[in-house]
Amino acid sequence: MPAGRLGTGGRRVAAGMAARPDDVTLTFGGNATTLLRLGPFALLTDPNFLHRGQRAHLGYGLRSRRLTEPALQATQLPDLDAVLLSHMHGDHWDRIATRSLPKDTPVVTTPEAAACLARRGFSGTADLRPWQTHELTRGTDTLRITSVPGVHGPGPLARLLPQVMGSVLELAREGEVRWRGYISGDTLYRPFLGELLQRCGPLDVLVPHLGGTKVAGVLLTMDGRQGADLVELLKPPVTVPVHFDDYGVFSSPLGNFVAEVANRRLPGEIRTVGRGQTISLRA
């Protein structure tokens, strides 16, 4: 496969469309919100249903205005096996999610976010500390979710920001892993992220949260350079970037990441996805 190949490979489908047993797909709702169809399992990530012009709460009185319209709403979702929440920020879990998602929806997230959701009436949370796992089972299929540590801010600033986790998702049938992907969450690039390869094995897909989020000039999520560093570290066959242009606090557009990967001639395919579009997560 050509180094840093840019692809799309997408198709527009209804979010509730039934999946075939071996399908592994991602429907992009905007920001970090995706609907994942992993074999028989349906997962929603980081639900952000705010409309263009509405503001997300980021804590400490900070807000950011949404610049785009979401392509998924809670009313469009299929029955979910779980929601995967990387951390409790208003652009990853908003007031519409609190109001609209059933309170018994299983949510896999950090201990801090689980406690917050419990106060909001959500009863099905699974709180994971770094490298802990949670499993979903349907017949002979298992979806294993492993929490990967993340760093949302440099140095002492990290203590002022929410706990954040990435997730390795492994789809297994009769004990054999058939697909493995990593969703980074809102972490900065750190070399220790390579540990996930030793703990879990090689990836089929990387889904990095990019955007180069900056508050008061401080970088809080990966920009194009750090995103390319992560691709170089993990060497996934396919990378599907998300979280790059939906809010005013983002400083690094998707093009920066694509250009950095191409300039370094990194291996694998960059598979872009438009809002409302569904793509395969198979290499």
Confidence of residue 21 (pLDDT cuts 50, 70, 90): low
Helix (H) or strand (E) holding 168: strand 165-173
- Residue with the larger pLDDT of the pair 199 and 215: 199
- At 11 the pLDDT is 39
Q: What is the pLDDT of residue 17?
A: 46
Query: What pLDDT score was predicted for residue 5?
Result: 45
- Predicted local distance difference test score (pLDDT) of residue 228: 98
pLDDT tens digit sequence for 170-198: 999 999 999 999 999 999 999 999 999 99
Domain boundaries, the chain: 5-13+23-280
* Better pLDDT: 263 or 23: 263
Using the structure block, give the residue that is written with the tokens 């047993």.
21
In 3-state terms, what secondary structure has residue 92? Answer: coil
Q: Give the mean pLDDT of 185-213.
A: 97
pLDDT grade for 90, boundaries at 50, 70 and 90: very high
Does 5-13+23-280 carry CATH code 2.60.40.1930?
A: no
pLDDT at 12: 38
Burial class, 130, CB count within 10 angstroms (exposed 0-12 / middle 13-18 / buried 19+): middle
* pTM higher than 0.85: yes
Q: What are phi and psi of 244, to 5 degrees?
A: -140, -15
* pLDDT given at position 4: 47
The mean of the pLDDT values for the chain is: 91
28-37, 58-67, 99-108 — which is least confidently predicted? 58-67
Percent of the chain with pLDDT over 90: 83
Tell me which H or E stretch contains 136: strand 133-138
pLDDT band at 73 (very low <50, low <70, confident <90, very high): very high
Q: Where are the beta strands (DSSP E) in 174-236?
A: 176-183, 205-207, 214-215, 218-219
- Give the whole-angstrom CA distance, residue 255 versus residue 239: 14
Instruction: Find how far residue 22's CA is from the centre of its chain.
Output: 21
* Cα distance between residue 38 and residue 167, in whole Å: 14
Confidence of residue 16 (pLDDT cuts 50, 70, 90): very low
Q: Is the confidence at residue 8, as pLDDT, over 90?
A: no
pLDDT classification of 60: cutoffs 50, 70, 90: low
Beta pairing partners, 57: 63
Q: What is the pLDDT of residue 59?
A: 67
For residues 74-100, give the mean pLDDT.
Answer: 96
